[in-house]
Amino acid sequence: MELILSIVLVIVVAKLLSEPLRRAGIHSIVGDIVAGLLLGPTVLGLVYPTTGLKALADFSLIILMLYTGLNSNLRVLSEHKAKIVLTGISGAFFTFIIVFIAAYFYGFSLFTALFIAIALSNTATETVAAMIERSGRRLSATIQNILVGASFVDDVLAIYLITLLRTLPMGSFNIAELTVITAKIALFMIIVLYFSKILVERYSSWILRLFSDPARMTMTTVLLAFILALTARLVGLNEVIGAYLGGLAVSRLKNTRDPTLLGIIRISELADELRVMLEGIFTTIFFAYVGLNYNPTTAPSPILILLFIALALIGKFIGCSLPLLLMKTPKHEAVIIGVGMGGRGALESAIILYAQQYGLIGPTEYATILTVMLGTAIITPILFSLTLKKYEKKLA
């Protein structure tokens, strides 16, 4: 009864908070996390991060990673490959460097400074997608593809970092161990993507017949995600990489040579089904659980929060826009992309949640990173909208 009441409270409060945020162009996950903060030990003390909620949050994360993979488009990478890869990696690397330097000289230990820099170096695909959707038809296909593709590159980096967390609780950065786990991740990804490519190329018609029924399509895809998540766990990796690759494997149907466009239609239907499930309950529970784990006894320094927010946004702006300018990208496009890559969200939440559970960071670091993540998720859509207005004539 207590679990049911907690779920009802979380969903009701999260939806009440998320709707006005959504209208303002801010992703609903901000409302979900704030709902957890309000209902949890931080403010009202009505809901606590119990074992039951943790189990639901873990399940929700698997579905979220499946959805993220399903909405990834490998074809986008081939259209502007150099710009996308360089933008994604450069933005993450530059942000990592300046945040790490600031955290280390502020007084954090070497390990903690490294972790904070890692957690704040990613871009949230869901925030990017929401901003693109809200922009309507003002953005060119090139800008959209680079934004989506670069955030996809960041997602892969974040998935890799989450998976590495399974080795870090052993104590420290062991180069040999990190090399082995990196090789395992790469091998696991190559095997899954290679066999999914073969299956889709040779048996696409059979797969589409299997997906002819919406219920069967959803059940099969979710089952595949959990099988790959379990496989990843059995070989010593993190479950999220298996779920993500499950979605990525199914998304290959969008790229089949099918004159009837059945592959694209079916995947779109599946994505809509999962989106309803996620927005209705699963992402709300996961992000509210992230908020519930905010320790009320640890108040992050306001100066530190503002510093990290500024560095997180500046790092992405310079790291993403500079290489684009060097590759002769029009200035307005480089600026728009640099601003748009500033938001954080789902995977960053997963990183800090895992890190806290494994004892890699304490309550203060958790609260600090979570607050910075919320700040960038709120500020980035506002800056993005102002940037679009500034370059409205050039985008026409």
Contact by Cβ (8 Å): 90, 325: no
The Cα 369–Cα 350 span in angstroms is 12
Say if CB 92 and CB 319 are below 8 A apart.
yes
Position 293, amino acid: N
Alpha carbon 166 to its chain centroid, in Å, reads 19
| pLDDT number for residue 268 | 66
CATH topology classification for 2-395: Na+/H+ antiporter like fold (1.20.1530)
Residues of the chain with pLDDT under 70: 1, 24-25, 72-80, 124-126, 136-137, 162-175, 177, 203-205, 207-214, 253-280, 296-300, 395-396
Q: What is the pLDDT of residue 101?
A: 92
Cα torsion angle, 310, 316, 319, 322, sign? negative
Residue 259's pLDDT is 44
**What residues does each domain of the chain span?**
2-395
Residues 166 and 350: their CA atoms lie apart, in Å, by 13
Closest by CA to 60, choosing from 234, 232, 239, 236, is: 239
pTM: 0.78
CB of 72 closer than 8 Å to CB of 250 = no
Average pLDDT across the chain, whole number: 77
pLDDT score, position 282: 76
Dihedral sign of CA atoms 243, 32, 160, 91 in order? positive
- The rounded distance, in Å, linking the Cα atoms of 235 and 214 is 32
Report the alpha-carbon distance of residue 298 to residue 270 in Å, rounded.
42
Q: What is the full DSSP assignment across 154-174?
A: HHHHHHHHHHHTTTGGGSS--
Question: Are 33 and 27 contacting, i.e. CB atoms less than 8 angstroms apart?
Answer: no
